[in-house]
Amino acid sequence: VPGALIDEVALVGPKARVKERLSRWINSPVTTMNITVFDIESLRTVVELVQE
């Protein structure tokens, strides 16, 4: 799978990068997102970023 494709459809990487990429989705017409995390700390991070 090309890295560019992953970059377009997934929020992966350090917290600052995910925050920057998430802002693109928040300001888009997308109304539903599937979020998969593998630990509670990652879930807390996603919640924190969405609430900012």
Residue range 2-23, pLDDT digits in tens: 999 998 889 899 999 999 999 8
pLDDT at 39 over 90: yes
pTM: 0.74
Q: How far apart are CA 23 and CA 40, in angstroms?
A: 22
Cβ density class 6-25: b for 16+ within 10 Å, e for less: eeeeebeeeeeebbebbeee
Q: How confident is the model at residue 27 (pLDDT cuts 50, 70, 90)?
A: confident
Report the pLDDT value the prediction gives residue 8, as an integer from 0 to 100: 86
pLDDT at 29 over 90: yes
The CA distances from residue 50 to 4, 7, 28, 41, in Å, are: 24, 19, 14, 14
Which residue from 36, 45, 47, 38 is spatially nearest to 14, judged by alpha carbons?
Answer: 45
Report the pLDDT value the prediction gives residue 7, as an integer from 0 to 100: 87
